[in-house]
A = this chain, B = another copy of it.
Amino acid sequence: MAVYTDINEIDLAAFLAEYDIGGLLSYKGIAEGVENSNYLLHTEKGSFILTLYEKRVNRGDLPFFLGLMQHLAGKGIDCPLPVHQKNGAMIGELAGRPAAIVTFLEGMWMRRPTVAHCQAVGEALARMHLAGLDFPMRRENALSVSGWRPLWDNAKDRADEVEQGLAAETEADLAFLEANWPSDLPVGVIHADLFPDNVFFLGTRLSGLIDFYFACTDLLAYDVAVCLNAWCFEKDFSFNLTKGTALLRGYNSVRPLSADEAGALPVLARGAALRFMLTRLYDWLTVPDGSFVVKKDPMEYIRRMRFHRQIHSPVEYGLVLKGVDA
């Protein structure tokens, strides 16, 4: 759920006067996105999303996020296109917050993705990676390996409240990942949060990628590892090898993973699970009950960490190695 900020019609009319999107017909706060307030606008020219950036988003990062969407859309990637104000700006201010308007993408996110959806998301991720290679801006990934220890330091004393022994278990994982994190793999723009709720489909056709507000410059294969975590586990935390195979086949069909990238998948997937576990744990321990921020269970990612710890080869995720194939 996310409508943290209500907008009144007077402020909104003044804001929209800066745009050339036709007369406003309606605006509805929508319960999607966790970090920001989102409104679905109907205007005489179509449907748009208006986002108010709440305090968890760093204002200085907005040109990267919005510039990236514009860059990707220009390369044919189906993603929201930022709408420029008459003065050329992509970022305005509304209700005391930075605000932007992007085009609305039709499509539904899959609560129950199938194998076909996993293959499509693999393909789309690879296309996004290729399209982003010449994007000129850079943004460090604050939530990559170097960012995990500070998060952990804020949570570790209370980690055993979630499960007895979790503190020692996580400490060991973190030390392992810090010592073994790859550094010489191909780098580019990654989405970094390509969960099912950020991918729209019309039937089995992927109609768009949304929510680039964690996008950054990092190892491309790490984005694949995030998707393995996000798309290929069932609700009982079992890994669905058929989905993993489909996702990796989709990715490889557009941008084949190098042998080094493939070999690093187990450690990258373990790190991705730790990354989501840590932010969830942090929220779990620090966000007050009853806040409108939805608190997600960190245990879902501890279960994934344990799975990845036992993986020795990317073949176990479903990757078909060259030479072995056919």
Contacts and interface: CB of A to CB of B under 8 A. Distances in A.
B26 A29 contact: no
A1 B47 contact: no
Interface stretch (A270-278, A288-296, A312-320): A288-296
Contacts of A30: 28-31, 40
A31 B31 CA distance: 6
A108 B27 contact: yes
A32 B29 contact: yes
Interface string A190-202: 0000000000101
Contacts of A291: 290
A40 B28 contact: yes
B290 A24 contact: no
A6 interface: yes
Contacts of A40: 28, 30, 40
Given A40-B40, A289-B290, A290-B290, A107 B1 contact: no
Interface of A is mostly: loop
Given A1-B292, A9-B112, A42-B106, A28 B31 contact: yes
A9 B291 CA distance: 28
Contacts of A106: 25-26, 42
Interface in A21-47: 24-32, 40, 42, 47
Question: Which of A25, A27, A106, A292 has the largest number of chain B CB atoms within 10 A?
Answer: A25
A110 interface: yes
A86 interface: no
Interface residues of A, number: 34
Interface string A86-108: 00000000000000000011111
B31 A29 contact: yes
Question: Which of A3, A26, A202 has the largest number of chain B CB atoms within 10 A?
Answer: A26
A56 interface: no
Contacts of A47: 42
A179 interface: no
A324 interface: no
Given A1-B292, A32-B28, A6 B107 contact: no
Contact of A6 (B29, B105, B111): B111
Given A28-B31, A30-B29, A111 B9 contact: yes
For the complex of A and B, list the 4 residue pairs with the smallest distance between their C-beta atoms, beginning with the closest: A290-B290, A8-B111, A29-B31, A25-B106
Interface of A: 1, 3, 6-10, 24-32, 40, 42, 47, 104-108, 110-112, 200, 202, 288-292
10 contacts: A1-B1, A3-B31, A6-B111, A7-B111, A8-B112, A26-B108, A28-B28, A28-B40, A29-B32, A31-B31
Given A27-B108, A290-B291, 4 more contacts: A1-B1, A7-B111, A28-B40, A289-B290
